[in-house]
Amino acid sequence: MIVLSQILKLSGKEAFEKYLESDYGGDNVAFLDDLDKSINRLIRTDLKEAGDFIDAVKGIFKYLPRRYQARLKAIQGRHCHWTGEYAPALRHYLAARRLLEEQKQPEGIARLGKGLMDVYMYLGRYEEALQVGRRSLSYFRRKQLSNDAGQVLNNIGNVYHRMDNNRMALKYYNMAREIFARAGGVPLAIVEYNRANIYTNMDRLDQAEKLYRASAELYHENGLEIARNQALYSIAYLHFLRDKYTDAIKAFEAVHDDLIRLGDRKSAAAAMLDMAEIDIQLNQYGSASMIADQIIPEFRKLGMRYEQAKASYFSADVRIRLGDYTQASSRLKKAETLFSREKNLLWLGMINMSRSKLNIARKHYSTAVTAADEAARLFARTGNERKKLDAEIARLEGFTMAGESPMALKLAGKLSIEKLAGYQSYNLNYLIGQCHFRLSQYETALKYFRKAVGAIEKMLKGLYPDEVRYFFISDKYDCYRMVVDCLLKLGRTDESLQSNFSALELINGKIDRDRAISSQIPSPLIDRREQLRAALKKISQSPKSGQRGTPTSYYSLEQQLWSNERKIRSILYPNEIVAKKLIRTEYNIRDFLQDDETVINYLENDSGIGAFCVTSGRTEFVELPVSRSDMALILRKLHFIFESVVSGITDADETGQISESYLRELYDILIAPLKARIAGKKLIIVADGYFGQIPFNALKDGSGNYLINEYQVCLAVNPGDICHRRRTPPDITNKQHAIFAVSSDLLPAISIEARQIKNIFEGSHLYLDREANRANLLREAAKATGFIHIAAHASRASENPLFSRILMGDGPFFPFDLFQSGLKAGLVTLSGCQTAAPGLYYGNSFSLAKAFYQAGSRYVLATLWPVADKVSTLFMIKFYKSLSEKKEIFNAYNSAVSELAEVTGNPAFWSSFVLLGI
């Protein structure tokens, strides 16, 4: 075996000829055969070193006869082939073939054909690939060179696999396996890996995994680390197909980094493409879009038209889900053009699947069914059963949404007997439930909605309990809501309430997290994190004078930071996510209520909007006199007016009557219909989604009384907290506290606020400006068991609430920074703007406040809309002074709100402050 250091010593013709004579007896062919073996081994283990080796070798060929130039061109072509540079690879291979044809070397031409057909395949020139392969195969069979014939049979299988013709691919792979089975080794590993790919497409996942693991072991035994990583990458994709999402993410990130390290850009880019698919499934649309848009130019540069088309498809799919239908149509058209050139039936089927989704979103149901029909036909031709089932479910959705329930149920009956993946089971059972619900067959509908819920919760077991898991389930709450609706239609009110509470407890429940061990994180990822944070800090602009909010910063930087955090998490996640029973409390909520307490749970249902009203004696459901769209409109208008008043755009007196009319209207809608059912003066409101954006304390009755003056109003994030609360509220005043404040010339009151709180709680730890940084906040999160107060600019990210931020002394602090923080504080106060306001997507529910609640804090004091600097300082000082006296968080909050209302009068200033938790 030749090594690079030997080649580097051969500085001239005399040195080379001496080496050739001493090591190979002057035999050029023996030297070149050994050189070929050495380079082939490097190509499969370290492409970067292989490139250096080839660069060094080029100079030696000038000392060899010209007839050996074909070997050099073939070597150069092979390296470009493996690095994914297919256009240069093709040029080198064709140059080598011309030289071999001049020399009339048919065996050399046949051997060269093994690589040449592979390059034609990656360039989408399938007919040329098959033509070259058949010629080489004919030669090898004629000369009884069985191993070479086996390699060509394998490569022909690759071409058919690339064309998504699974049956033909498997046929050729099986023929290759018959040749290699006896000898074993690397050739068998290659064929078994390829056969595993086909079994994956055919949804025979157990067989596929067995073959992937066998091939990975063979590659490892032979020191072929690139090939081994490609097999491990395929196992990662199997995790995804089996709904083991966190295991898949962890494996993909590790394999991707290894492939980059080994110089395999082609496979690394393909791994990112599969990551985009996983992100779409997990509702991580920003991440999927970034990956797809970033790797399209990479595939274009590499000449990988097939992968470029797939990336365009995923980019279109994301935009359909985000409602950007024009951009989605444009990207689908690009992908379709590329796949048509490839003559790829499977992905043309995928294009039709997306067209079906797009038409359903646009309510063009008959067109959607036609597109799904065409997709099913194309999938059937490729033999991809899993995708064919997807298309049939898409047809079912089209019929269901069009109101053709009998037709839909007829189709559903055929699909119910199939073996389904988790997401397919969820979609199928949800749609069958919808059909029966529309036919008023509520008992049957309930059965299928519960099956769909079972599929969701099975998938949840494959996700680590963090934000990714939250966003995965956020768009599936509708399925739980349909269970609630069915039970209400059947008159089972208590059971309906319990089902809704179980869903909310699952979605909003706290997450037990051990603190992260930062020493496990590679330094390049930490360096990258700090670089991105520094860039984000630099572009963050100062807020408007006197207002504690910052404009949204550049989305791409935030997305890059989140992508880096995902890499870090893939290291910190456990080695395997063990499926555990989802823990939810089975309880009768009435058993935990006192006689003077009433729980109100607002929710959307099939009829519009309603509310559960629960006392210790009974549970009732009341339909409320408003539609979902009207409720959303009232809230948008009210928030707009309040924000305009706080920012000084409009005069408080001029808008007072308008805002008061909305507050009265909300009272008449949300409180008045329930008033006769409310027991006592204590209200516990469980309000998720946009109901959480209602300033309940400021709702006004016909006599002009605010709700805060009539009832003690608690806002519960998680209904399970009602059962687990202590009868005696906790006293946190004597525990460890931390205060963080980042002020500016425009917001001088922030530092005053922090120092005043420090004066009230003298033992608290105070961090100002630069010291109020992310590291200190996370350190205190794991220690402070009293309160953590954060006074700094804050900003809601409307598109993706993961990018809502608090501007700390060293840059923005995001919700995902709380990962494995071990937060212990009984109270977290976020006195910046809109810290309780969610984004527009993901159930309109996730906010900075909810992130701190789920990370472990029992109470979170936050804001619904922008707050004025001086008003916020006044409120916070009143709150903490009251807390030091009353020793109880809820009473201190109520007292501070009442005092601020007396001072400011206008609810635009005082009703933004909300206390989450009970």
Beta carbons within 8 Å of 683's beta carbon, 6+ residues apart = 597, 598, 600, 711, 712, 713, 714
Whose tokens are 């707009």? That residue is 640
pLDDT confidence of 840, banded at 50, 70, 90?
A: low
Question: What local confidence, expressed as pLDDT, does residue 615 receive?
Answer: 97
d(C-alpha 217, C-alpha 188), whole Å: 12
Specify whether domain 589-724 bears CATH 3.30.450.
Answer: no
Beta carbons within 8 Å of 5's beta carbon, 6+ residues apart = none
Give the pair of three-digit tokens for residue 573. 């996640």
pLDDT(173) > 90: yes
* Mean pLDDT, all residues of the chain: 90
pLDDT(536) > 50: yes
The least confident of 127-136, 644-653, 694-703, 734-743 is 644-653
Gyration radius of the chain's alpha carbons? 32
Average pLDDT over residues 175-197: 93
Pairing of the two strands 787-791 and 738-741: parallel
Note whether 830 and 875 are within 8 A (CB): no
Question: What local confidence, expressed as pLDDT, does residue 687 receive?
Answer: 87
Residue 497: closest CA among 480, 475, 510, 509: 480
Class of domain 738-916: alpha beta
Question: What local confidence, expressed as pLDDT, does residue 113 receive?
Answer: 96
pLDDT confidence of 542, banded at 50, 70, 90?
A: very low
pLDDT(212) > 50: yes
Average pLDDT over residues 425-444: 96
With a pLDDT cut of 70, the percent of the chain lying above it is 95
Report residue 144 CA to chain centroid gap: 52
Tens-digit pLDDT profile for residues 339-370 = 998 778 889 999 999 999 999 999 999 999 99
Instruction: State the DSSP code for 587.
Output: -
Question: What local confidence, expressed as pLDDT, does residue 585 receive?
Answer: 54
Note whether 39 and 75 are within 8 A (CB): yes
DSSP 283-345: T-HHHHHHHHHHHHHHHHHHT-HHHHHHHHHHHHHHHHHTT-HHHHHHHHHHHHHHHHHHT-H
The least confident of 373-387, 615-629, 837-851 is 837-851
Q: What are phi and psi of 611, to 5 degrees?
A: -150, 135
Tens-digit pLDDT profile for residues 254-308 = 898 888 888 887 788 888 888 899 999 988 888 888 888 888 888 888 777 888 9
pLDDT(314) > 70: yes
**In 3-state terms, what secondary structure has residue 374?**
helix
The CATH number given to 4-235 is 1.25.40.10
pLDDT(899) > 60: yes
Question: What local confidence, expressed as pLDDT, does residue 553 receive?
Answer: 41
Tens-digit pLDDT profile for residues 365-386 = 999 999 999 999 999 888 788 8
Give the pair of three-digit tokens for residue 108. 């050399």
273 to each of 253, 295, 476, how far by Cα in Å? 12, 8, 25
Tens-digit pLDDT profile for residues 492-516 = 999 999 999 999 998 888 875 555 5
Boundaries of every domain in the chain: 4-235, 589-724, 738-916
The least confident of 126-135, 204-213, 374-383 is 374-383
Tens-digit pLDDT profile for residues 762-779 = 999 999 999 999 999 999
pLDDT confidence of 844, banded at 50, 70, 90?
A: low
Q: Is the pTM of this model over 0.75?
A: yes
From the number of C-beta atoms within 10 Å of its C-beta (0-12, 13-18, 19+), residue 185 rates as exposed
pLDDT confidence of 552, banded at 50, 70, 90?
A: very low
If one compares 193 and 13, the residue with the highest pLDDT of the two is 193
Give the pair of three-digit tokens for residue 682. 């204590």
* Helix residue ranges, H only, 85-224: 86-102, 106-122, 126-142, 146-162, 166-180, 185-201, 205-221
d(C-alpha 572, C-alpha 759), whole Å: 40
Question: What local confidence, expressed as pLDDT, does residue 584 receive?
Answer: 56
**In 3-state terms, what secondary structure has residue 915?**
strand
Residue 136: closest CA among 160, 157, 117: 117
Residue 663: closest CA among 708, 627, 628: 708
